[in-house]
Amino acid sequence: MIKQQLTSDYYKPFAKEIEKYFSESDVILQDDRNTIKEVEFNNKVFVVKSYKVPSTINSFIYTYLKKSKAWRAYNYGLKISQFTPKVIARIENFHPRLTKSYLICEKFDADFNMQAPLFKNHPDKKVIFKEFAKFIFELHKNNIFHHDLSPGNILIKKSEKGYIFKIIDINRMTFEVLSTKQKAQNFSKLWADTEDLSMILMAYAQVANLSERFINLGLFYNQRNKNRKTRKRKIKQMLGL
């Protein structure tokens, strides 16, 4: 059984033959746990994410107990359409439990992602940091918390008016009025150094009318996340994993 959601019937032929279109594309954007490719349909380029086939346990969970990653990414994409590349379709295959699933989005022609100003000494990084802080403020103002707000999941495009930001990998989201603590925690996965993160947090505090305590909170949660990741990596190395 195949389950689909489409923003328009125009994309039915695309969704119906998604495995064919996906396998024929050799433009790979990511090939890790999941595979992401650029795929052409009717002379237009789309981005298609093929989710890893879930384990037996997860397949059971995503079939009977919980919505799949593709389902969540598609529906969240509709909900936060101004902040993420436009979603087109989600396709899920069940035999009888969930196996393959896909998410189709319009391609956002980003110039780079957040790794450029954080790790590659982008010449305009101070401006980017300030505008990024305003972007995150808008997310929070709309009661949006992206749980995977890492540099690779923040796309950036330069425009005549400044910079345009889009978030991706959005299957883990929370929608609620956020506390100051939650807002500070949302910067914890940026892996930025103290100076750069302080600039971002200071710009956010200014637009959100928050005190210096917010900056210190953000630095604390960011360092805590770094320490946790470092411990995990060392344990894996010790175990030979």
pLDDT of residue 7: 97
d(CA 42, CA 88): 14
Cβ atoms < 10 Å from Cβ of 69: 24
* CATH for 2-106, options being 1.20.140, 3.30.200, 3.30.160, 3.40.1280: 3.30.200
Spatial neighbors of 19 by CB under 8 A, at least 6 apart, are: 100
pLDDT of residue 241: 63
pLDDT of residue 231: 86
d(CA 12, CA 28): 23
Q: Do domains 2-106 and 112-236 have the same CATH topology?
A: no
d(CA 208, CA 213): 13
Alpha helix (H) residue ranges in the chain = 12-16, 18-24, 56-60, 69-79, 115-119, 125-141, 180-185, 194-208, 212-239
112-236 — its CATH code? 1.10.510
**pLDDT tens, the chain, 241 aa long:** 999 999 999 999 999 999 999 999 999 999 988 999 999 999 999 999 999 999 999 999 999 999 999 999 999 999 999 999 999 999 999 999 999 999 999 999 999 999 999 999 899 999 999 999 999 999 999 999 999 999 999 999 999 999 999 999 999 999 999 999 999 999 999 999 999 999 999 999 999 999 999 999 999 999 999 888 888 887 777 777 6
Domains of the chain, residue spans: 2-106, 112-236
- Identity at 74, one-letter amino acid code: Y
Tokens at 154, concatenated: 């923040």
Measured at the CA of 132, the angle between CA 128 and CA 136, to 5 degrees, comes to: 175
